[in-house]
A and B are shown apart, each in its own frame.
Chain A
Amino acid sequence: DAGVTQSPTHLIKTRGQHVTLRCSPISGHKSVSWYQQVLGQGPQFIFQYYEKEERGRGNFPDRFSARQFPNYSSELNVNALLLGDSALYLCASSTGTLNTEAFFGQGTRLTVV
């Protein structure tokens, strides 16, 4: 069975640009969460979507937005990129709203120059 898949794996963008990251959850999982991991830190929660509705949002500016599609895949959008947005962006999927068995993808490494 395929795990959580994320695309692209690596991305280089210029300050001020916009980026879209994509995530496909494990088959049967209805919840997708997004996390940002900067070097040397643990992942930090950005969003959780369940059944296409936003269920939770972390302490991130409005430049960050996300959505979940009818097939439960998800997109994370970041506008007006800053150098500080450079990080590993991780997607996790779980069957329901509880994150006790959240499975992560390999991440998208975003570099903003």
Chain B
Amino acid sequence: QKEVEQDPGPLSVPEGAIVSLNCTYSNSAFQYFMWYRQYSRKGPELLMYTYSSGNKEDGRFTAQVDKSSKYISLFIRDSQPSDSATYLCATEGGADGLTFGKGTHLIIQP
């Protein structure tokens, strides 16, 4: 079983919709959880990270972690066509570096 599972999509939603992106992880020792956005042919861009369980908000983006179910979520409000990208969740593994999911390809239709 891969340590971080993420549905690759594609996920297509109309402009203005609320987007929900999700990951599950298997190692209960993980404490830090990150979300990255990656445009085609570019490097990943850090959106935010959270520590342990709870919510964190940054503008239109909200990250949520539920450690009891090993579930990580990213919500995007008022989605824009410029949000179309691949979204990667990741966990911090110390000396093992970041462990990434496969990424979800998101398409926002104008």
Contact = CB atoms under 8 A, between A and B. Distances in A.
Contact of B42 (A48, A92, A106): A106
A4 B43 CA distance: 10
Most buried by B among A4, A48, A99: A99
A45 B96 contact: yes
Contacts of B51: 100
Given A44-B100, A45-B97, A104 B45 contact: yes
B96 A56 contact: yes
A33 B44 CA distance: 13
B45 to A, nearest CB: 7
How many of chain B's residues touch chain A, expressed as a range? 20 to 34
B43 A102 contact: no
A55 interface: yes
Most buried by A among B49, B98, B100: B98
A25 interface: no
A106 B42 CA distance: 5
Nearest to A45: B97
Contacts of A92: 98
B54 interface: no
B95 interface: yes
A107 B99 CA distance: 18
Pairs A-B, 10 closest by C-beta atoms: A42-B100, A45-B97, A56-B95, A104-B43, A100-B49, A106-B43, A104-B44, A100-B32, A107-B43, A99-B98
Interface of A: 4, 33, 35, 40-45, 48, 55-56, 58, 90, 92, 97-107, 109
